[in-house]
A and B are shown apart, each in its own frame.
Chain A
């Protein structure tokens, strides 16, 4: 009786994971099929079709090492400055973040600073964004994290999608700036490639649910206001907003050519803290939205299925762990050929949740499409990321479970990801920009973009021109 029960559980788990694999295989093949088409379509678009006024929110808490970089970049954007408002939100920083932002504010009229006191600040990103939203006066609200470094023409690329009235939000692509730093940043870079170039891109092409990633994206102001801004009670405010936008009857577009560079986490400890927050936040959203997605009249069937899979993605590593726990005693208790066959497929699933739960092939195909020749050699190492994520998800799951049982508040444990500013060294003209020298000599936005275009290591691109 017990064996039959275990067998049934094992088969259900394997079927679930095979379904996930098939879904991601379709994503990978869609990305391959459309790689050329996307580029062609983008080249044919006239950039000046839609130029609404834009307010950019930059929440920053103790970001003195990177805040100057992004504010400097805001001054270099090609979008008309009379249509632009930049709001730097100094979220009760205890370092020089506020002073640096103030300096930029004095120099450039379109840059404003919102200072939050120790009493009102430090309650997480959603809270800081809501504080900034009160001062935003333009049609489109965009957000960038303080450690990000966008392309000069990113606003044009993102805002052109708002020409379609059904589009409520847009999301751009995130690329790791400090990739050569160490093995953690290299693996995170691979995760990002698979997650954006393949996963998000395919979701957009297939008319599923591209996710707003919390940064490098924007919303219609009236939509954001009508939704009540960011929900401060969840840790994954971006995922929460994604589903609220879809439930309200709007769509999100993913714009692959709107690239922005981020400073990835540099150590396993910060990786844990960041992913733990994501995992817990995602689980909170799964509890909050799963039922609403199912019964929503604004979503098509394929969007509902994709939405549910997206919401529950952080439960998948726990299911893989469960399949081991069920499979091993089954193998010991009962030996059969079909069981051996199913067991042989388990490692495939293990490698299928590596790149932020993207399968290894999605990461590899992403690297292939991104013209990377050697980055994919690191894919086998992503198994460590999976095992690490499995522990993170398990701890997050237990935490969410206890929070629900004991009615504990979850947003109390927002942990900010520290940024070292090491990404500056990969920006070719950053030093010159700060000194006020002419940087027009370098058409490529930074060393990383330059290196990708020329298929060389960003580090060499940097040292080659400095």
Chain B
């Protein structure tokens, strides 16, 4: 019962802070790593989705910020590796793989975004037994 009451709270302050942090993270990563347009969009989509869907939930703000940072790093590494792979493969398959990269990239990205979000929900979910203890 106690936990359900807490879950009813919508963390507006966390959400506002998260949006600010997300903008900063996207801007910083895009600026310092000279990311391509696809990566910039993916960073934006990840930050928007993650912040809007996680920050209003119950849980420590610091934990949420750490997860956001981790997500941004994963996004950067995933996309950089995929881009390197695409560049290398394009050498052999010319334009075909380039087209495939543009079409498939957002789909492959969202698979990890959704997986990351669903796993991070587990961190914020508190089972009844623990909350009552």
- Which residues of A are at the interface with B, using a C-beta cutoff of 8 A? 25, 28-29, 32-40, 43, 328, 331-332, 337, 340-341, 343-348, 350-351, 360-361, 364-365, 367-369, 371-374, 376-380, 383, 453-455
Contact residue among B8, B57, B103, B114 (Cβ-Cβ distance under 8 Å from A380): B114
Chain B residues with CB under 8 Å of A35's CB are 4, 7-8
Assess whether B1 is in contact with A364, with CB atoms less than 8 Å apart.
no
- B7 contacts across to A, CB distance below 8 A: 32, 35-36, 368-369
In the complex the two chains form, is B107's CB within 8 Å of A347's CB?
A: yes
Bound complex: CA of A360 vs CA of B121, how far in Å?
12
The answer, yes or no, to whether B37 is at the interface (CB within 8 Å) is: yes
Q: Which one of B22-30, B38-46, B63-71 contacts A? A: B38-46
Q: Is the Cβ of A36 less than 8 Å from the Cβ of B5?
A: yes
Pick from A33, A350, A383, A453: contact of B10, CB under 8 Å: A33
Contact assessment for B37 and A337 in the assembled complex, using a CB-CB cutoff below 8 Å: yes
Is B52 in the interface zone, CB < 8 Å from A?
yes
With a cutoff of 8 Å between Cβ atoms, the chain A residues found around residue B122 in the complex are 373-374, 376-377
Complex contact A328–B45 (CB within 8 A): no
Question: Do residues B8 and A344 form an inter-chain contact, with CB atoms below 8 A?
Answer: no
Given A346-B106, A455-B127, also A364-B8 (CB < 8 A): no
B residues 1-56 in Cβ contact with A at 8 Å: 1, 3-10, 37-38, 41-42, 45, 49, 52-53, 56
Number of interface residues of B (CB under 8 A): 41
The answer to whether residues A361 and B115 also contact, given A343-B106, A454-B128 and a CB cut-off of 8 A, is no
Neighbour of B56 across the interface among A32, A332, A337, A373, CB < 8 A: A32
CA distance A380 to B129 in the complex (A): 27
Q: Decide if B77 is an interface residue (CB 8 Å cutoff).
A: no
Q: Contact check, A40 vs B118: say whether CB atoms are below 8 A apart.
A: no
Does any Cβ of A come within 8 Å of B119's Cβ? yes
Contact with A364, one of B3, B6, B42, B121 (Cβ below 8 angstroms)? B121
Partner of B118, one of A32, A36, A377, A455: A377
